[in-house]
């Protein structure tokens, strides 16, 4: 089994064998990789009642403790109940109330990018962390390297490393976990023990902080505070509290570090494709002008900005293999027998880089979503159908993620000129276009420079208030 950048190997095999379905058998585990939108739609979407279970990954769930999060839970009552709560907190109908925070935190990001471009990748993380921690727990972060943002980064690193099928041998040989510590080949136990601490802290610390503040009447409005205050104080609420802890913890985990990767990709694309940036500047100046920032109400009038967001999600994928689904009963597809328990891996990368749907797939080209008149083409393929996963497991935070991404991209394009950084001798530093491998994929750190596009942009940013 490929150990890194599996999506590229699966895509290569799919081409070599001229088959969008690949079957692998690793010891007792059957793995089926789906490399086309058609196969994914037929199985994960149209048959989603039997394709929505999750793998019982020993490393992730048993050793690191990720079974606390419904994203990794089997298809069953706990998953259903927590997903229902989660959906209520992040459904399109409630997103309006989060917009002021999205705008204000994004405003602070602009200032941080100009003042300290050196750490811009961390500033992006700080901003997405501030947004999700504010909305979910009413927390204010402490600026760069805030402990709660760092905690999320560390915990998510564990998911990135262990989340894909086959990342750790112990997933195929569960007995390995009984080997004594320090025995050769047990590095995974040390890693799991460290990562499990972060997982547990993410699900306890902010929860207890808000509970404490609620008891003292000091809690800021938040999803957690509103869920807890709805509980009947005359009842035993231990079950509900555990559900609420799971749901808000899941928002923190899934919300803090996913959008980060997409935004870092967006900045990279602007460095590599200056003409795209120029065209976006022109659209914003024409539609919004230069004396105010774009707002959510402008979305429909900024089709090129919308296309940049879609192309960002297509060009480089945050979860190139989504999260594996697990088949619950025997099934048959195109004459193939698929036994119950088969792990089904959707190769999102292959789907979003299929040249039949996206000609020149390696090129960042937002115009692929537009009609010749510059308006959005309703018949163009929509990468968001694959980037956020499939069927009953589709990302329930996707509407919120799209709002967050859109406002950040629009604010940055409206006010800043993004260029390649230069070194002390004035030589341009070419950005690395490499990505990390793992369940979550991020751009390898690179440098960029940010300058206000004009005196008017500078004034807009200055008027947004002081960054933390």
Considering only 162, 302, 323, 439, the residue that binds ligand HEM (CB under 6 A) is: 323
Nearer to ligand HEM, 84 or 371 (CB): 84
Smallest distance, Å, CB 346 to ligand HEM? 6
Q: Which stretch binds ligand HEM (CB under 6 A): 102-110, 293-301, 314-322, 353-361?
A: 314-322
Residues 6+ apart with CB under 8 A from 263: 124, 128, 405, 408, 409
> d(Cα 305, Cα 369) in Å, to the nearest integer?
11
Smallest distance, Å, CB 246 to ligand HEM? 10
Residue with tokens 């997903």: 83
Interaction of residue 207 with ligand HEM, rule CB under 6 A: no
Interaction of residue 251 with ligand HEM, rule CB under 6 A: yes
Smallest distance, Å, CB 305 to ligand HEM? 16
Question: Footprint of ligand HEM on residues 33-72 (CB under 6 A)?
Answer: 71
Smallest distance, Å, CB 71 to ligand HEM? 3
Number of amino acids touching ligand HEM (CB under 6 A)? 26
Nearer to ligand HEM, 176 or 395 (CB): 395
Interaction of residue 203 with ligand HEM, rule CB under 6 A: no
Considering only 40, 114, 141, 318, the residue that binds ligand HEM (CB under 6 A) is: 318
188 in a known ligand binding site: no
C-beta separation of 410 from 302 below 8 A:
yes
Considering only 139, 170, 327, 395, the residue that binds ligand HEM (CB under 6 A) is: 395
Q: Which stretch binds ligand HEM (CB under 6 A): 175-183, 396-404, 426-434, 450-458?
A: 396-404
Considering only 90, 137, 304, 450, the residue that binds ligand HEM (CB under 6 A) is: 90
Q: Which residues bind ligand HEM (CB under 6 A)?
A: 71, 83, 86, 90, 250-251, 254-255, 258-259, 262, 318-319, 322-323, 387-390, 393-397, 400-401
């Amino acid at each position: 089994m490929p150990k890194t950048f599996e999506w590229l190997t699966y895509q290569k095999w799919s081409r070599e064998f001229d088959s969008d379905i690949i079957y692998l058998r690793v010891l007792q585990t059957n793995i089926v990789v789906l490399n086309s939108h058609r196969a994914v739609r037929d199985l994960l979407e149209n048959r989603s009642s039997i394709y929505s279970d999750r793998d019982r990954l020993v490393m992730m769930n048993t050793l690191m403790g990720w079974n606390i999060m419904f994203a990794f839970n089997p298809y069953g009552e706990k998953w259903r109940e927590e997903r229902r709560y989660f959906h209520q907190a992040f459904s399109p109908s409630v997103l309006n109330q989060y917009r002021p925070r999205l705008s204000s935190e994004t405003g602070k990001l602009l200032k941080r990018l100009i003042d300290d471009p050196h750490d811009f990748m961390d500033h992006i993380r700080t901003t997405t962390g501030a947004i999700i921690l504010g909305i979910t727990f009413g927390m204010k972060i402490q600026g760069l390297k805030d402990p709660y943002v760092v905690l999320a980064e560390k915990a998510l690193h564990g998911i990135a490393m262990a989340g894909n099928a086959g990342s750790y041998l112990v997933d195929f040989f569960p007995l390995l976990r009984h080997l004594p510590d320090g025995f050769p080949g047990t590095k995974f136990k040390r890693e799991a023990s460290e990562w499990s601490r972060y997982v547990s802290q993410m699900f306890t610390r902010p929860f207890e902080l808000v509970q404490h503040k609620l008891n003292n009447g000091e809690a800021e409005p938040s999803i957690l505070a509103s869920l807890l205050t709805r509980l009947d104080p005359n009842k035993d609420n231990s079950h509900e509290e555990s559900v609420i802890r799971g749901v808000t913890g899941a928002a923190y985990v899934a919300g803090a570090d996913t959008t980060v990767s997409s935004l870092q990709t967006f900045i990279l694309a602007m460095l590599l494709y200056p003409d795209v940036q120029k065209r976006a500047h022109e659209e914003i100046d024409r539609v919004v002008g230069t004396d105010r920032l774009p707002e959510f109400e402008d979305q429909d009038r900024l089709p090129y900005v919308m296309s940049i967001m879609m192309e960002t999600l297509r060009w480089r994928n945050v979860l190139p293999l989504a999260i594996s689904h697990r088949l619950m009963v025997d099934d048959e597809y195109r004459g193939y027998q698929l036994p119950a328990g088969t792990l089904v891996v959707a190769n999102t990368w292959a789907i979003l880089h299929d040249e039949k749907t996206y000609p020149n797939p390696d090129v960042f080209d937002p115009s692929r979503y537009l009609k010749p008149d510059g308006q959005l083409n309703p018949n163009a393929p929509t990468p968001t159908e694959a980037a956020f996963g499939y069927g009953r497991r589709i990302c329930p935070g996707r509407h919120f993620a799209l709002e967050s991404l859109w406002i950040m991209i629009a604010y940055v394009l409206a006010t800043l000129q993004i260029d390649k950084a230069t070194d002390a001798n004035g030589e341009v530093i070419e950005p690395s276009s490499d990505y990390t491998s793992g369940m979550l994929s991020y751009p390898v750190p690179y440098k960029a420079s940010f300058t206000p596009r004009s005196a008017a942009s500078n004034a807009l940013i200055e008027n947004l208030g002081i960054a933390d």
